[in-house]
Structure formats: structure tokens, C-alpha cells
Chains A and B, each alone.
Chain A
């Protein structure tokens, strides 16, 4: 077990290093965005003095390196800063109610996104793996081809198109699920689930193809191995040969594709959120970019990067653990 622990620690350290590099990239990229918050909030009536005063207020007049380290230092302690939009709003009204921090703003949105991602994963992962196993079992049959065509079509269609098709069939023609996913805090779980169903189904259609095709390919890849031949020559049923003998050895590539798709569910679902008016982090992110609310943009980017790195790390570790040679050294 010692070697596994060592590998995991190494991967964790590498992940942290990657995150650090990503933070530099995020900071640089966000600062390269044309225009700034003061300009965009003051609009046409911006006098140079007003702009300068807002910039000084927000610390935008500091050199970039200083700002980076202030931001990084804060982020390491869990303080992602204060939203420009909120800070500004407070100073305009004169009632300083304590400016909302970025963390407070992002938290509920992030929870919503995670909820949607988990609902989708709970549907999509078992669905895709089952389809992949069945496609491998009945390879080159009509079922296999139909599955491939179905999943490839759904991944090739734009997300909003899939979303509207689902709305048409499951909300308008057969009112099973609501077409708007306006969930809010304190909503009971069952209602939340019902309202998230259509976006979750749309995303399922988007992510199934990759996972299903990788499952199929990874299993078929192993079917020529001597131990699969041995399993067949022991007179086992084709289903048992695939599930018991091929699948455990095909896990590593499948886990990696699942992780990539889960990361996509957290970071890439803006379009679906917009279509269903789902209050997730993607919408907040896009809105903040529009008004150059830099602390929120940076925080969102950092969260996305962390999600990506953590999921890939988990996938790596699970792939390692799926290898009995590493789990049970000689």
C-alpha cells in the first residue's frame, strides 16, 4: 500500500502546482480583457476623475504583480475578495450593509451547479456504461449500430437544440416536467429534483456518447486476450465474460473519460443554464465577464480549474486502484 500512497501524494503535489500555474494564467488573461470595471459601470458619463476614484477604491491602480499576490494570498486563506458590483452598489446607496464577498455570492450558485452535475451523473454514468456493455456484447448488430447512431447524433447536436426538443416533448406536448428550472434556496429536494430534470436529461444526452463509446471500445479491446478466451472456454455466458472478466480490466480508460465528462458538467453548462433559466455558476460567470467584475470572474475560473484538476486526480487514483498489481504488491 505504501507505493500507492506515495503515488497519490505525488499526484496531489503535482495538482497543486498545476493550480498555481493556472492561477497565473487566469490572472493574466483576465487582466488582458479590454475595458475595465470603472469604465463599464460609469458608462458614457465617465469623467477621468470618477474613473480614477473608483479604480483607487477597488485597488485597480496597484501594479499587477502586487494585485496578483494580494489575490493569491487571499484565495489561499479562502478569501476570494469582494465583488466589484456589490462594493460599488453599497457605496452608491451610502448604506454600507457590509459588502457581499465573492464567496457568499458564488456559494449558492456553485451548490446549484453541483446539484445539477450530480443528478446528471447519477443518470448518465450508469446509463452510458450499461449501453457500452450491451453494445460490446451485441457488437456489430443492429442494436450496436443504433446505439452508436443515437449517441453520436445527440453529442453532435447543439445543446440548446436538444434542450428545446426535450422541452417540446416533455414539457409542452406531454407536460411531465416543468420547462423552467427556477430553483431557489430552501426548496424541498423532490421539487428541486423535478425542476432540474430537463436540464439534467439534456446534459445526459450530451455526455453519454463519450462514456458509452469508451466503455465499448475498452471492453472490445480486451476480448482478444488469453484470459477472455479462457473464460469462454470455461463455458461462461457471454454476459458474464464481459461483466466479470473484461470490465474490471477495462476500468482505467473508462474512469478517465467519466472524469472528463463530469468536469464538463461543472464547467461547461452555460448554454443549458440559460435555456432553462437555471441559477448555476455558469450564468454568474458570463454575467460577471460582461460587466468586468474581475474578482468573480477570477474566482469562477479558479473553481473551474480546481474542479478539473480534482476530478482528473480522482480518476488517476481510481485507475491506479483498479490495478490489482498496485493494490496487492508481491
Chain B
């Protein structure tokens, strides 16, 4: 290949400002991108992927600076170019697709107005021409009702559709390079497929080069020609996608690939005579007048994990709120150990409250930032068990040991001094402090990186074995389900569509929705998406997911 590369980044160093000083984010990374090539950029959160992606556009966020290196786009040095020269390139020749389309579209303007803004301002096309082109792009991206959708406001369009509108907007000036910054992370698996397929198609069609940033290996395997792995601001390795997947050379890369191997052994079937720890019976619930749950029933047994899966809005978390009594059901009842629980948590006794505990998705917001770790865990110890003084301290220390954190080191720390995984461990200790039988884990690993998430899953599994706990594990991630569930409940639109032991659920035949959900989970195989689309028939991806729209 003698052709000059489209993008050439050499020894790029980025620094972020915090605590009154500049700290390194990226320590000298090289990146070369040929015309029409798609490079996958992967790494854990905090690896500096997004910052590097933006630096490829010569752009830094407030509080970030490029301290060294060069960024050359088609022979133009972006770091030395004037603001006006960069503005001429941005949007026109280099475009950006952000993680959250809902936040990145201006809520005050219609989609088409925002779509046409780039071409009109850059003088690429007139308004009318750009509008026609927009409709054409919407059609290519298989958006429903392409003639009309552009004339709606962002809040009137669903997340998956918005993400495709944003891809269309990035394409509006037919740029040479698009930076995709985690474009499908916020989407459900079934929606993700459509967006991935659309993006891949259109990038191929216009021969656009792209940098595809994500933390999801399976996703990047579908999208990229080449993969670059980042770890804490350093490049780990770069290789052709197939080579990288089949023969990673670095330990870190291998460990990323290995995460998905964690799986608990199967447990024997539940005795028919056993009384479920928690039983949800024919529950209907609504928020105000909007019905959310319809006739939901499932049982959870001692020492077992029930994974409740479904897309956002399927009623998973609402079911948990009914069990805790935060949202009293309209109909039906909740039984704990065969006893009917009062619907409203205010009417439950302290002992009834103690039996059901919760661990939350965002450990950041679930821990009081002003309280020390010791205080956070001691509160339920005192409230539920009535322990005081030295006894209380002993119990808290024991709990900290259970979650594998050294008591003397962590007792007086504040949540802000802990990492994401450690905070989630504190959340677990707080739930354990009440000595419950049953814990609801609401997407507890979805905000964590894969390696950290695996640690949490292993900890939860060990605690379950030691204490015979039963878990209700709410998740949208089927890999997690595979790893730890004993039974699976699939929910959709507030109804249970299928339930049963895990080994049955992952074997056909399925309810068609379960099938769609299962087949939509990206796999490491780089041909997975292509094969799947062929299987489903390219033209009806939209149809396959129509059920949820």
C-alpha cells in the first residue's frame, strides 16, 4: 500500500486536569487509518478511548489538553491548524457519532433541521437538496417512515432510531472519516443489531473510514477491520480483527477474551415440595394510570439465582419494586417463605423488611457520599440486628472481610475514595448486613468493566454458596445470565413470556421473543452479524424487532 493514510496520529499525549494539576490520560499513542478502513478502539472505562477519538478530530473537552504528538488528517496538521480551518473540516470531512443520541441531538430543533445544518453551513448542499438527501439516508439506514421521521423532535423518536438519525447526520456531508463513540452502548440488544447493521452498511457503501470506539469485544469484532486495544492510556496491541480474536499476543488482551468463560455448575432441580423463598403471584402494577405489569408470576428458591431478563421498559425493575413494597401491586400478592407480605413497605414489620434487600445498579448514587464505609454498613447492622458498640464494629469488620476488603484499611474511607467495583462491594456488604434470605440485584454489573464485573459475579456466587442466599438478578446482559443463573424469567412489555431452568432456556425451542433476544447477543465470531443478517433476511431486521417498537 503506497497510498498516503487518511489519518496519522503520532506519539499523541493527552492530559486531563484534576486536583490542580495535569494528569496523563494517553501516554503517546500512534494511530494510522487508511481511507475506507474501520479501526476498532477498545478498552475499559478510563482507558482514554473517547478522549483519543476526539483528539483524532483535533478536539479536546474542557479540562483536557494535547500535550505532545501530532494529528495529521489528509496532510493537514490538526494541532497546528487555526480554529477556522478546523471548523471547515469538522462536520464536512470528519464527523462524530456520540454515545447517547438522545443527549446529543438538540431538544429544541427538529431532526431534519439539525441534519441539514452541516451541509448548508459548510456550503455542500442547499437546504432542499440536503433534505432530499436526508430522506434518502434515512431510507438507506432502514428507518421506518423515512419521509416523515426527520420532521419530528428528538424526544418523539426512540433511542435506536435516534442513533441511526445521528449516523445519517454524520453522513450528511459525506465525510472521509467518522468517529463512532460507543454508538450502541445505551441500546438494547435487539435494537443494537439494527444500528450495527445500518452503520456497517452505510460505511461500506460510501467507503468512509471510521474509528469505532467501544468496550464490547463482540461488537467491535463485527464492525472493525483492525482492532487497537488500549489500557490506562497505553496501547496494548494492534492487529487485524481475525488475528486479534484468534491469536492475541498480550496477556491483557487474553484476559479480556477469557472473561466470558465464567460459568457456574448446574444445580439439581428444585424439589417439588420446597417452599419458595419469594413467590410473586399474579401481580399487576401501574405507575399512575399507566399499566406496567400484567399478571406476573414467578418463584425463587433458597440458594438459587433467578435471572430476570428483558429490554428496557419490559418491567424487570418494576417487578423488583413490587417485591420490596416500594410500589404496591394493583392486584396479586408477594409471598415470603409462604407468608403473604403487606403490599406497602410502610406496613411491613422490621423483620419482614430485613428479609428482602437490594443492591443497585449505580453504586455511585446508592451510597451516601458523606458517610464513611463503616457508617454505611453499620447502619443496617444497628437498625435490623440492634447491635451497638464493639459488637457492631465486629459485625462490620466481618462483613468487610466477607466482601474481600481489609477492614482496617477501608473502615474510615469515603465512597469517593473507592473504585467502581469496590463501591459495588460495599453495596453488597450493606445488603448482607441485614442478614437477608433474598437479595435483589438490579443490573449490578452493567456499569462495571468486564473484568471487575466478573469479580463481583464470583463474589456473589461464593456468598450464595456460603449463606444459601437466593438472588433475583435483573439484567439485560445474557452473558451474565449464562454465567450465574439457575432459572431464567424472560419479560416483555410487562408480561412474563417464558420461564424455566437455564439449561432449557438456552436450548431451542424458544418463545419467538426469547429467540430474538438470544440470537441478538453479539458473539466474538467476526462473521456473526453477517450470518445472522443472512439468516433473518436483511430486509426484515426491522420486522423482526417490530414487536418492541
Contact = CB atoms under 8 A, between A and B. Distances in A.
Interface of A: 224-227, 229-237, 240, 244-245, 248-249, 324-325, 328, 330
A45 to B, nearest CB: 69
Given A240-B121, A249-B108, A324-B153, A226 B88 contact: no
B435 interface: no
Given A226-B103, A230-B96, A325-B155, A235 B108 contact: no
A213 to B, nearest CB: 21
Interface string B151-169: 0110110000000000000
Contacts of A226: 98, 100, 103-104
B86 to A, nearest CB: 7
Contact of B156 (A224, A248, A328): A328
Interface residues of B, number: 30
B118 A234 contact: yes
A232 B59 contact: yes
A224 B104 CA distance: 11
B107 A235 contact: no
B530 interface: no
30 contacts: A225-B103, A227-B106, A229-B104, A230-B96, A232-B59, A233-B59, A233-B90, A233-B95, A233-B96, A234-B96, A234-B117, A235-B88, A235-B89, A235-B90, A235-B121, A237-B87, A237-B121, A240-B121, A244-B109, A244-B117, A245-B108, A248-B108, A248-B109, A249-B106, A249-B108, A324-B108, A325-B153, A325-B155, A328-B152, A328-B155
B303 to A, nearest CB: 44
Given A226-B98, A324-B107, 4 more contacts: A231-B106, A234-B90, A237-B87, A325-B107
B469 interface: no
A232 B61 CA distance: 11
Contacts of B103: 225-227
A244 B117 CA distance: 10
B57 interface: yes
Nearest to B93: A235
Contact of B106 (A235, A245, A328): A245
Q: Which residue, of A229, A234, A244, has the highest number of chain B Cβ atoms within 10 A?
A: A234
Given A234-B91, A236-B91, A248-B109, A324 B155 contact: yes
Nearest to A228: B106
Q: Which 6 A-B pairs have the closest CB atoms?
A: A235-B90, A234-B91, A235-B91, A248-B108, A226-B103, A233-B96
Contacts of B156: 328, 330
B153 A328 contact: yes
B92 interface: yes
Contacts of B118: 234-235
Nearest to A325: B155
Nearest to A322: B108
Contact of B122 (A227, A233, A235, A325): A235
B150 to A, nearest CB: 14
Contacts of A330: 155-156
A233 B170 CA distance: 10
A235 B100 contact: no
A307 B253 CA distance: 69
Contacts of B138: none
Nearest to B166: A230
B209 to A, nearest CB: 16
Contacts of A244: 109, 117
B539 interface: no
B543 interface: no
B57 A233 contact: yes
A245 B95 CA distance: 18
Contact of A227 (B92, B104, B153): B104
Contacts of A233: 57, 59, 90-91, 95-96
Contacts of B19: none
B107 A230 contact: no
A32 to B, nearest CB: 47
A324 B96 CA distance: 25
Nearest to A237: B87
B105 interface: yes
Contacts of B89: 235
B251 interface: no
Nearest to A225: B103
A6 to B, nearest CB: 15
B62 interface: yes
A90 B153 CA distance: 66
A231 B95 CA distance: 11
Nearest to A329: B156
Q: Which residue, of B89, B106, B109, has the highest number of chain A Cβ atoms within 10 A?
A: B106
A236 B104 contact: no
Contacts of A236: 87, 91, 117, 121
Contacts of A237: 87, 121
Contacts of B91: 233-236
A265 to B, nearest CB: 29
Contacts of A328: 152-153, 155-156
A232 B106 CA distance: 12
Nearest to A234: B91
A225 B105 CA distance: 10
B78 to A, nearest CB: 12
Nearest to A245: B106
B155 A227 contact: no
Nearest to B169: A234
A238 B118 CA distance: 14
Contacts of A324: 107-108, 153, 155
A235 B90 CA distance: 5
Nearest to A240: B121
Contacts of A229: 61, 98, 104
Contacts of B57: 233
A237 B91 CA distance: 12
A232 B87 CA distance: 8
A141 to B, nearest CB: 15
Interface in B67-126: 86-92, 95-96, 98, 100, 103-109, 117-118, 121-122
A245 B121 CA distance: 14
